[in-house]
Amino acid sequence: MSAKMLDYSIFDKFKFERKPVGVKYSLAKPKGIKPLDKSLALCEMFAEAQTSPPFYATKENVQCGEHVVGMLDFSPMMYSGQLGSMFSMFKNPGANRRVYDYISLLPRDSVKYIIHAPVDRLAADPDFLIITANPTQAEIILRASSYASGKMWSFKGSTCLSCAWIYAHPYLNGELNLTVSGLGYSMKARGVLPEGLLMITVPFDLLSGLIENLKEMEWEPYWFKLGRDGFVKEVRKRSGELAQELAKD
C-alpha cells in the first residue's frame, strides 16, 4: 500500500509569483504526462515548469547539465579544467579542475526521465521541491526549516555547474540548499530568471517537517511589526520581565 501523498496547499498561502516546482527522477517512462517538446539546459527546466503543465524530459531534451543527473559522463576536456579560463570562470585549469572533486552527481544511467510539475499539479510526492521566492517569502521558508530542529542554514554553490546544487546535492545529501538568481554562470548567461530571487531546494525527506512547521509557526511575528525602536524597547521590557520571573525560582 502506497503512502498517502503530502498536502502541499500550505504553499498557496505564499502567493508566489513563480510556482514551486516538484522534480522526480525515474527509470520508468511516466504515464499521463507529456514529454518536453524542446531542448533546454537543466537549469532552465524548473523555470519552464513554473508556467507549463507537468512534463518529463529525457537525455535528448537536456541541452546542458546532463552530466549532473547521470545521463552523460564528463569529457576529459571538461575534467581537465580547460574550459574555465575560456569562459572567464577560473584563472587557470587547476582551479576549474577542483570543481569536479566536490560537486554532487547522480550515478551514471540511474535516471532516464526527469519529471517536472508545478506544486499545484503534483501527481506524487517529488524527490525535491524547488521554490523561487523573494526575501520575505524565503525568510519564512528558512525559519520553518529550522523551527523544530534548530539546525543551522548551510548553503553551497559554485561558479559553474550551479544546476548540481539545485538538482543533485539536496537530493543526494538530504540538505536544503539555497542559491540566488544571477550567481550561477550558465543561468546568468541564459537569463533563466531575473536577478535577486532566492531559489530553495527542499529534498523529499525534509518536506513533511517543513509543511508541518509552516502550519504551526507564526509567519509574521508580532516583533516584525514594531519598527526598529519599538523592537528594541519591547526586547528590553520582555527580557527584564523574564529575568525577574526566573530570579524568583
DSSP annotation of 21 reads E
pLDDT at 3: 67
Q: Which pLDDT band, with edges at 50, 70 and 90, does 88 fall under? A: very high
113-118/21-26 β-pairing: antiparallel
The torsion of the CA quartet 201, 205, 210, 212, rounded to 10 degrees, works out to 160
Q: What is the pLDDT of residues 156-192, one digit of tens each?
A: 999 999 999 999 999 999 999 999 999 999 999 999 9
**pTM higher than the cut 0.85:** yes
Question: Taking the domains of the chain in order of start, what are their residue ranges?
Answer: 9-217
